């Protein structure tokens, strides 16, 4: 099936907001302890510039994290993202979220990606979210290998900046995992720069951002992160029931968290 090539016609800001509400208040909290953004890696985007946010591809969860990050941290921007056309057929509702189908393995598919991306980035509020590795990859794997498509955008889209985004999913001290994210600094490239050199610089910047996030994740220190949402704590089941009863008999307030949390200024 031929994918539509103008996602601006399909995208619904209202449906995206409703889906973001569902992700934030129900779906993601049921599966994660928290979604946290590194305090040292908050996004800083130059005004009046269209933006490509490119990340590693750690998990099936990445598109949901994109939506939550975009709505929480970049509310004035209009987000889009590519997905292999065969997969988009399975998750057709994502078209309404700004996702468009591509075939990255053919020259025609690569040309269509460039054409569609140029269209959505013509608006200075336009933001393209891309899993630049193109396949699921462990965040510890080195060296990184990025698909070359986004490097060509620098030669075709004026006033464009690129921003690396590192994502990890890891377990700390609770029964549910943490979703961690960190942005790197924005970068702009000359239109006459060779795409291979651009790809090398993009790769190096994403590697640095992923390494920085890995160091922060290994500390298990939530004070290094700003929580964008929180899920449930504790182990659940009979174990938490027993702990709750113990707290009741002692006249104490029950805290389901396995580890005691030290509040940090700015925590939600």
Structure tokens at 146: 């990025």
- Give 252's contacts (C-beta < 8 A, 6+ positions apart): none
| Domains contained in the chain, CATH given | 7-229 (3.40.1130), 234-268 (no CATH)
| Model confidence pLDDT, tens digit, residues 57-78 | 999 999 999 999 999 999 999 9
For the segment 2-10, the average pLDDT, to the nearest whole number, is 74
| Model confidence pLDDT, tens digit, residues 131-184 | 999 899 999 999 999 998 999 999 899 999 999 999 999 999 998 999 999 999
DSSP helix/strand/coil, 76 = coil
pLDDT band at 189 (very low <50, low <70, confident <90, very high): very high
pTM of the model: 0.86
Question: How would you list the strands of the sheet with 50-55, edge to edge?
Answer: 99-102, 78-84, 126-131, 50-55, 160-170, 178-183, 34-38, 225-230
């Amino acid at each position: 099936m031929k994918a539509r090539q103008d996602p601006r016609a399909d995208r619904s800001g209202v449906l995206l907001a409703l889906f973001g509400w569902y992700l934030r208040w129900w779906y993601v909290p049921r599966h994660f302890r928290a979604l946290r953004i590194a305090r040292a890696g908050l996004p800083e985007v130059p005004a009046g510039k269209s933006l490509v946010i490119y990340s590693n591809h750690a998990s099936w969860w990445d598109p949901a994290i994109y939506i939550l990050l975009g709505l929480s941290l970049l509310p004035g921007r209009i987000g889009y993202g590519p997905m292999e056309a065969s997969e988009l057929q399975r998750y057709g509702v994502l078209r309404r979220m700004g996702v468009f189908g591509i075939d990255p393995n053919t020259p025609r598919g690569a040309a269509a990606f460039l054409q569609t991306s140029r269209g959505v980035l013509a608006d200075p509020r336009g933001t393209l979210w891309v899993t630049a590795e193109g396949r699921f990859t462990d965040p510890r794997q080195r060296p990184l290998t990025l698909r070359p498509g986004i490097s060509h955008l620098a030669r075709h889209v004026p006033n464009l900046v690129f921003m690396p985004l590192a994502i990890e999913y890891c377990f700390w001290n609770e029964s549910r995992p943490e979703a961690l994210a960190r942005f790197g600094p924005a970068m702009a490239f000359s239109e006459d720069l060779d795409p291979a050199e651009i790809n090398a610089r993009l790769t190096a910047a994403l590697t640095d951002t992923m390494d920085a996030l890995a160091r922060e994740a290994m500390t298990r220190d939530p004070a290094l992160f700003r929580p964008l949402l929180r899920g449930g704590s504790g182990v659940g089941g009979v174990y938490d029931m027993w702990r709750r009863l113990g707290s009741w008999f002692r006249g104490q307030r029950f805290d389901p968290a396995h580890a005691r949390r030290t509040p940090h200024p700015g925590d939600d």
